[in-house]
Each structure stands twice: as C-alpha cells, then as structure tokens.
A and B are shown apart, each in its own frame.
Chain A
Amino acid sequence: MAKTELQSNTFQAAPLTSKTEPACSSMANTLKLSLDYDQLTNCMRCGFCLPACPTFRETGVEAESPRGRIALMKAVVDGIMEPNMQFEAQMNHCLGCRACEPACPADVKYGQLIEQAREAVEKHTVSHRWWVKLARKVAFKGVFPYQNRVRMVGGALRFYQQSGLRNFVRNAGLMNLFPAHMRDMEKILPDASDKGVIESIGTRHSADGLRIATVGLFRGCIMDILFTETNINTVRLLTAAGFDVVIPETQNCCGALHAHSGEQSDAKELAKRNIRAFRESGVDWIISNAGGCGALLVDYGHLLHDDPDWREDAAWFASRTIDISKILADQGNLPHTFGSMDEEPMTRITYQESCHLRNVMRSSDAQRKLIRRVEGAEFVELFESDRCCGSAGIYNLTQPEMAGSILDHKMEHVKKTEAHVLLTSNPGCLLQMKHGIEKHGMSDRMQAMHVVDFLYSRLNRDKINVVK
C-alpha cells in the first residue's frame, strides 16, 4: 500500500536512510570498491545524454539510458539496491559506444564507470552459463594474448572455409544447430588467413620520397587474420604518403575485448607488452586502423595511471596513437585527389562512423576529408552516421536482439543514401555492415569496405599532384 507518512522513503544524498538494508553481497562490495564515486556524484541527472543513447532510443526505458545506468550503479554503492541478474543484464545491454560522453556537459566519464561495473559483474557473475564462462576463458586467456595462437585460429578458420568443410557444414544443415545471428555472422565472415601482415610483407617499409616520420602499425588480432589485406593496404598508403613503417613483431591484442568485458588485469598485461614493443621500435606515431582498438590504445594512459613503473610510457603511447585517416589527412604527402577508376561510372559513397573513433578518439572529419578527395565519386552523408550500428565488439553476438533492432534502423537510413559503397573504419562495424547489407537484400547494389581499402584502390600513382 502507498505510504502516507511524508518523506518516509525520501533519502537525501547524505546521510542515507534507505528502505532496504545496505547491500552486502560480494558483487556489491566489489562495486563499492571499484566504482569511482566522484564520477557517480558528478552525474547531475540532467538527462542530456538520453537522446544520444541508442539503447534508450530503442526502448524508451530509463534504465536503458546512461543516466539510468549510472543511477543503478550509484544505488548499489549507496546500498539502496542489491546487484541482481537484472543489474548484470543492464550493464551488459550497454553497447559501450560512449555516445553519451560527448553529449554530457558535466563531463562524466561514463566509459570508465561501465568498465568498472563490468569488471565487478564479471568477477561475481551469476548469469553466465558454464559454457559461456569456458568459451570466454579460452578466448580471453588462451588465445587473444598470444599472436601465434590467434594466427592458428585464423588457419583453422581458413581450413574450414576453403577445404570444402564449410560447404559440407552448410549443405548438411549443421549451421542450423547455431542461433540465427551466429549463422548470419558465419555467412559474411571474410576469408581468413593464417598469414598476417608481417608474414606477408615483412616488418620494415620505407617511405616513398621524402620521409615525414617513422610510424608503427598496430596490426590488431582479428584485424590481422580476417583483414590482412587491409593491414597491407594501410602500410602501402602510409609509405606512399611519406612514412617509414615499422610493424613491431612482439605486439599483441590491444586488450579491448578484455577491458570492455571487465577483465581489467588481463587488459593491463596486454597493454604493457604493446607499450614495450612500440617503445623499443623507436616510432614517432602508433597507427591504428580499427576504431575499437584505437580507443583502448589512447586509453592506455588511464588504464595504467596508477602504476608508477608504467605511467610515463603509457602516457607517451596514448598521446602518440593516431588513426590512419587522421595522420594521412593532417600530415601525409598524398596526392590532392585520388584517381577514379576509369571503367566505373560515378560512384556514390557513404560513411558509417566508428563510435569509438568518434566518441573516444574524437575523430570524424579526417575520414570525410579523404573520401571527398576521391575523383569520380560523390559523397552522401548517412543520416545519423554518428550512431552505433549495433556491432560494438562482440555485442551483436551476446545481445542479438538489441543489436538486431539497432541494425535494422541503421539499414533503413543506409538504403536511403542509394550509395554503391558503404565505408567504415573498424573491422567490427565493417562485418556488421556486411551483415546488414546481406540481411536487407542489398548485396546486388552495395558493398561495404574499409576506408583504407577503398582509398588504396583509388590511389593513382601516375597523377601525383601533391598538396603541401
């Protein structure tokens, strides 16, 4: 029944008198220790972040908004609520696209809060089934940290795709054993390789013409087995633009999957190995061609800020990490225009941003500038290109429903552009866009490509018409 006593359940920020006993579960305790209370207090609940948030847009439910999620975290820390299955689910529903951060006038570091929350959830999760836990453990601890193992997975995938096994599996209907969204993903996976960029073209490449700087390529893990060609094209673009390129062999996975899923200590270990690899190779810049990885690379400074042995190197690494498009647009000696492919008629291009590139690395102009320099191509803006496509790391596998409805909205807008080429700058988004094009029956009209591959295909070396 409703209360009649005024203020019987009103609690002020301090002191707290809540209806429930203070939460004392172990997850609550971990959350109390790990969540940054300053950031929780900084959220003034103005709601400015709500319109920016894709999950809020899809559902209209306050708990699915940044303001709501922060309130949930704070309620747990304040002892007003027990973190239960639903709390876990809500933390996992967040795409981590961080569109809420640039929208927040109070500068709340939401990205850090959600990672801290997920770390606690991961430690005490009750909702994961044993096989999910096992699969995560194998992937996160057994595979991603080791370059050679990642490559072995690439090899196995390649074997599956090319030996006829894939056809057998598909024809025998074995894929039907998997949920629909997994089947969809299997279909659009590009041909994998067991050879990464280094195995294909070696570790050092000199600049064409005058050298501007020496840069190190961050090759990534998934990127390097599924999109080896994109890594190779990145090197070619960089050398053409006047950069010496080094690809340090001892680098490994960036740790983004670990960090975003709450495995902070693994992420830190991976970060340290990367920092050492690039520090030792004497580069001026670290080049990222995957928005998702890049966002964690620029966050290494924060990740290791309380480790006195690593603080300085991590800050160096973070400040020297730059997206391929940005360095090409701002510093590169590229021709003023990229050539057209004579045999093709006018191409219409559109661009879906990578959330992390935009919201964390805060870069979205450079890509557009470069694309506009392509001859014989017309650039059309994609409505809400700044909104997450639903890929978000492995989100489309873990939260297929939400990811699916976000993707459907995205593809409606994509369709309206009538573009022939849909560009992205992150492998996860690229796969999601390929999936979207397939799902919405648009493969006959449109293809999705990484910006790097597109630009490289249009680099006309005969007509060098250098700006600067």
Chain B
Amino acid sequence: MLEEVVIRELRAIVGGSFFRNDPETLVTHSYDGTPMQQALPDGVIYPGSTAEVAAIMKVLNQYRIPLISRGSGTNLCGGTVPVQGGVVMVMYRMNRILDVDLDNLTATVQPGIITKEFIAHVESLGLFYPPDPSSMAISTIGGNIAECSGGLRGLKYGTTKDYVIGLEAVLASGEIIRTGGKLMKDVAGYDLTKLLVGSEGTLAVITEATLKLIPPPKYKKTMLAMYTDLYGAARTVSKIIKSQIIPATLEFMDNPTIRVVDDFAKLGLPLDMEAILLIEQDGEMEMVERDIDMIASICRSENAAKVEVAETAEHALKLMTARRSAFTALARLRPTTILEDATVPRSRIADMVLEINRIAAKYQVQICTFGHAGDGNLHPTATTDARDQEEVHRVEAAFEEIFEAAIRLGGTITGEHGVGIVKAPYLEWKVGSAGIDMMRGIKQAFDPHNLLNPGKLFAKETRKRVVIQHG
C-alpha cells in the first residue's frame, strides 16, 4: 500500500487519471509474458514526458519506493513482475518518433513506441532498422533496449545493442543523464550507452533513444531445407558458418515445432521431417544468388531430403511469419509453455540439440526446440501444465541440466531474453562470483537504495551446479 501523501504527490505530477491503484489496474500489471510469475504492484503510473519521469523518480526515491519500468510486458524472464511491490511505470504514452535524421541516418524515439510501428515508419522512408524480435508487433523499443532483444536477422545484422548509439535516461535519484549521441564514434569515458542496453530496468529508466539506421538490402531470397535426420540439419548450420557464408537468417525448427506451426499457420510444411532450416540471404542480387546456391549444395551434402526456394515474396513472407509464430503456436499443445533461451557457439549446435533431447527423455518431459540456429541461440520449449506440480518440477530440473550443458559447451544461460527473476539463480554459473560482485558494484553506483526493478538479475542464492550423470 502506498501512503496517501505519496499518491497525492504522484497525482500532482501526472494528473489524476494517469496514476491508478484500483484492484483492476494492479492485477493487470502483476504479470508479463513469463509463465507462473505474478506479484501485485502498489500503483501504476503513466508518465507523459521525461520531466514527469524525473519528478516521479524524485518522489519515489524520497519515500524509498521501488519502480518497475514497463513497455508492453512481453518479456519472458519475469522482468516486469513487481516482486517487491512498488510502482509500475508504463511507458506507452511516451511513444513518439522525435526525429529521423536522413543526413546522419539516425532516428530518435521515445521508449514507448511499438517496435513494428517504428520499423514500418523507417521503411516507409527507405531505411532499415534490423532488430526484429518475434514480439515486435507488440513489444516496445524501450523494452527491446532494456532486454537487448535479438531477432531473426541477428546473425548478419547483430542485435539491439548494435543499433543504440545514444540514450537519455532518468537515474534512481531523479537526475537525467544523456549518453552517446548521433555519433558513430565516441570514446569519452566509460560506454554508459552499452551498459544501459540490456540492463533490464535495473540501472535507470530509459526516456529517449537514438538509433542507428542502415540502407535496406536490395534483394533477398528465402529457402527451406528439410531433413529426416536432426543431426544433419544441425551439422548444416555449423558447415554454412564454417564456409564463411553469413546468411541474414538461419532458423531451426524440430519436428514437434513444425507440426504445431503448420497447424496454426496452415502452410503445408512437411510433417514427416525431423527438422527444417529456414534460410534467408539478402544483399546484392549476384551475391545472394551465389550464396543461396552454395547453401543449397551444403544442405544436400548433409542429406537434406528436400531443398525449396521460395518463388514469390508472399511465400517467403509466409515462411518467416510461420517461424515467428513458433513459440506461441506451441502454446496450443499444453496449457503452460515454458520457453528457454540457451545459447552455444555455433559449431556446437548439433551437440546442444542432442543434449536437449537426451535431457528431455531423461526427465520425461516434452521439449520442442527451435531457434536462431545461425547465432547459436536455441529456444528449447517445454509444454506442460502449471497445475501439475510434479511435472513442473521435472521441467525445472530438466532446464537446470540444459543450462548446465549450454555452459559446458561454451555457451550461456540466455541469449536474448534476459535474466530477470527466472534466470537469476543461474547467473553466477555464467559470470562467476567475481563477475557478480562487479555487477552488484555497478548497480550500487547507479541505484544505491535498490529501487529500480529490485529482485531482478541478482538472486538471493545461486543454484548449485547439477552433477551430470552420463550414460
């Protein structure tokens, strides 16, 4: 519960209707896209400007009340669940594109703009903003920045961090900082821009971002390679990279995923295949044609049962859309879908997929795997039912072992979804205890009273590494 005086001060900043603490509003800001995580905030606020954000933060800092920034709440790590109560700050009113600078090829936007709307605007001006998380129809640029989201084009074009060149942010104290700018080069001190990207709302509230734009590729081609043998598909990925071809997109789907996606999107995908790869190359026409030919021959050499190049742009778009819907389509199998985000070096994709299957069998849980194979980012996805606690425990145990395997293969516990609450107990596995101490120190410098998104990133206790029993 917030004290009356706090509520009065907050209302005075944003106006009566933009602060709410009725039960409906609290309930509808108690969750995000993460299964089985929910906690009620004490209030919800909708600021309209940076100045308002700063004023709000000053009040909250004075009364030591936590603040959770929120875009569209589509994150999958419990990032916006207010585990320690406090005020949820919804950024949707701050949703303007402030400037598209055609001379410098940059755009400056407010954080609440929906990614897809931003991309559509940029494309209408003949420019290109590559980061395209599958949630872009609803997620916001602010959320993308705070999670450092990746997408289907990450392999060739990189992820959100590669496009954020300047930020405006409000600190826990209520002070406003500006980092970077419309500059392609800037080494004045520590790189605070990069530090804020991926900071999951724990260091500052991002109120404005300057993003780099690039010229769009002139030509593109999409193809589908289908395999009766899963290992063949995985080996193809490693071999494409090894032969120094960098496709724009290189996506992987296993059989259970193919089945549900096809049921949802009605595409006539081959249901009898163990795995398919969805590959796209873009660039100059000549290079694209050459790369696609070479990729096709690599696929065949790894015993692809069928290789199909999309004839029309619509067909290509349909295939990409199908891949984007994979996660949510999997939700049709069982009531609860837990999607994970293990990432390994690209040469170890095949080993990782085999590990996932072995672990799923060991714990007798259903895990479908798809993901951005080209950048080693796999999404093993368990379909279960939150009401069956015993099964949920088995799923958790399986995932623990999957993270363990990812790290053993030189990978990480999350490639793009962030740590939040759900991955916090495993963070130390990846960064070590000195790494955690360092990160805590940074947090302390930005947010001495632990008000910004508390309870995220750092767990009370690290999980013990599981002992793997081989054979």
Contact = CB atoms under 8 A, between A and B. Distances in A.
Interface of A: 1-14, 19, 38, 41-42, 44-48, 50-51, 60-63, 68, 71-72, 75, 80-82, 84, 86-87, 90, 104-107
A423 to B, nearest CB: 27
Interface stretch (B28-36, B125-133, B150-158, B175-183): B28-36
Contact of B27 (A2, A3, A81, A107): A81
A2 B66 contact: yes
B455 to A, nearest CB: 6
A84 B25 CA distance: 13
A200 B33 CA distance: 57
A11 B39 contact: yes
Contact of B331 (A12, A14, A42): A42
Nearest to B451: A2
Contact of A10 (B73, B83, B385): B83
B81 interface: yes
B37 interface: yes
Contacts of A42: 331, 335
A71 B29 CA distance: 9
Interface in B7-51: 22-25, 27-40, 42
A88 to B, nearest CB: 11
B36 A13 contact: yes
5 contacts: A3-B84, A6-B83, A7-B83, A46-B327, A82-B23
B387 A41 contact: yes
Contacts of B455: 6-7
A34 to B, nearest CB: 19
Interface residues on B, range: 35 or more
Given A44-B33, A46-B74, A106-B332, A81 B23 contact: yes
B73 A47 contact: yes
Contacts of B22: 86
Interface centre among B23, B24, B135, B389 (most CB of A within 10 A): B24
B417 to A, nearest CB: 13
A2 B64 contact: yes
Interface in B370-403: 385-387, 389
B72 A107 contact: no
Contacts of A105: 264, 325, 327-329, 331-332
B332 A63 contact: no
Nearest to B336: A41
Contacts of A1: 1-3, 63, 65
A4 B84 contact: yes
Contacts of A45: 31-35, 73
Contacts of A75: 27, 30
Interface centre among B25, B328, B336 (most CB of A within 10 A): B328
Contacts of A61: 25
B92 interface: yes
A3 B28 contact: no
Interface string B323-341: 0010111011001110000
Q: Enumerate the 8 nearest inter-chain pairs by beta-carbon distance, A residue then B residue, closest first.
A: A105-B328, A106-B331, A13-B386, A68-B28, A41-B335, A62-B28, A3-B85, A10-B39
B138 interface: yes
A68 B327 CA distance: 20
Interface string B44-63: 00000000000000000001
Contacts of A3: 84-85
A48 B1 contact: no
Contact of B85 (A9, A50, A72): A9
B459 to A, nearest CB: 10
Interface centre among A5, A42, A87, A105 (most CB of B within 10 A): A105
Given A1-B2, A14-B386, A48-B137, A87 B24 contact: yes
A50 B2 CA distance: 29
B460 A106 contact: no
A10 to B, nearest CB: 4
B83 A47 contact: no
Contacts of B327: 46, 105
B86 interface: yes
Given A9-B40, A50-B138, A68-B28, A2 B84 contact: yes
Contacts of B331: 42, 44, 46, 105-107
A72 B23 CA distance: 9
A105 B262 CA distance: 12
B4 to A, nearest CB: 12
B217 to A, nearest CB: 26
B93 interface: yes
Interface string B63-95: 111100000111000000101111000101100
Given A9-B85, A45-B31, A45-B33, A63 B23 contact: no
B110 to A, nearest CB: 14
A12 B28 CA distance: 15
A37 to B, nearest CB: 9
Interface in B312-327: 325, 327
A80 B24 CA distance: 11
Interface centre among A1, A44, A107 (most CB of B within 10 A): A44
Contacts of A44: 33, 35, 328, 331, 336-337
Interface string B84-116: 111000101100000000000000000000100
